[in-house]
């Protein structure tokens, strides 16, 4: 199932997922999930997955898919998933318009 405006995968993130998937010999499918915990209440979890589940929302860019389960999508709808590199390191980063606050590292948030 595809819902184009629900979440975005940036070109930088798509390129990084493609590189990681190629190196690991896996499909270029990145799963974003939201779990309870982290210093701000919710935390993002990223991982390569083998397949898109029937109830997942999937968006594609440059041959890479980003998939999100329906429960997590309620918390990240309208977000953009990017890959950023800086002096402090490199990581996938979620720009979430639903987050009322977040932690300094960007891996957890509150609504």
pLDDT class of 21 with cuts at 50, 70, 90: very high
pLDDT class of 83 with cuts at 50, 70, 90: very high
Nearest-angstrom CA–CA distance, 102 and 14: 24
What pTM did the predictor assign? 0.81
- Residues 52, 3: contact at Cβ < 8 Å? no
- Class of residue 31 by CB neighbours under 10 A (exposed 0-12, middle 13-18, buried 19+): buried
pLDDT class of 109 with cuts at 50, 70, 90: very low
**82-110: average pLDDT:** 71
Contacts of 54 (CB under 8 A, 6+ apart): 1
């Amino acid at each position: 199932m595809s819902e184009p405006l629900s979440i975005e995968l940036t070109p930088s993130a798509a390129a990084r997922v493609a590189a990681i998937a190629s190196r690991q010999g896996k499909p270029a499918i990145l799963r974003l999930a939201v779990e309870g915990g982290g210093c701000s209440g919710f935390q993002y979890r990223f991982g390569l997955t083998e397949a898109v589940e029937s109830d997942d929302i999937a968006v594609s860019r440059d041959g890479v898919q980003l998939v999100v389960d329906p429960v997590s999508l309620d918390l990240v709808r309208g977000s953009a998933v990017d890959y950023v590199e800086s002096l402090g390191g490199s990581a996938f980063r979620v720009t979430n318009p639903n987050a009322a606050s977040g932690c300094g590292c960007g891996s957890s948030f509150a609504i």
